[in-house]
Amino acid sequence: MDKQLQALQHNLELAIQRTDAEGIEFWFARDLQSPLGYARWENFQTAIQRAMEACDASGHGVSDHFRGVMKMVDLGSGSKREIDDVMLR
C-alpha cells in the first residue's frame, strides 16, 4: 500500500465514527472533510453530490446512505450556530 493511501486510511480511522439510534454506523461529512483533503465545505458538497448521483445510478437508495442534517456548533464567541451536514452511512 503506498504511503499516501496509508496516510488517508490513518486519518479516516481518526475521524469520529458514530452510531445512530438504530445501531447503524455513520460519519458526519464535516468530520471527514479535512482528512479527505477538502479545505472548503462547498467543494466537499460537490463531491458528496457526485457520490449521491453515483449511488442512485447504481440502483442503491440514496436516502439509505446520505442523510442531510442540521447540527449545532460552538463559535469562538461562546455562542452556537446551526449548520448543515450530511450523515454518511
Half-sphere exposure of 84 (CA within 13 A, CB side): 7
Predicted local confidence at residue 80, as pLDDT: 93
Predicted local confidence at residue 25, as pLDDT: 87
**Rounded distance, CA 70 to CA 31, Å?**
14
Predicted local confidence at residue 1, as pLDDT: 64
Contact criterion met (CB below 8 Å) for 48 and 29: yes
**Rounded distance, CA 75 to CA 2, Å?**
38
Residuewise pLDDT in 10s, the chain (89 residues)? 688 888 877 777 777 788 888 898 899 999 989 888 899 999 999 999 999 999 999 999 999 999 999 999 888 888 999 999 999 99
Question: What's the predicted TM-score (pTM) here?
Answer: 0.79
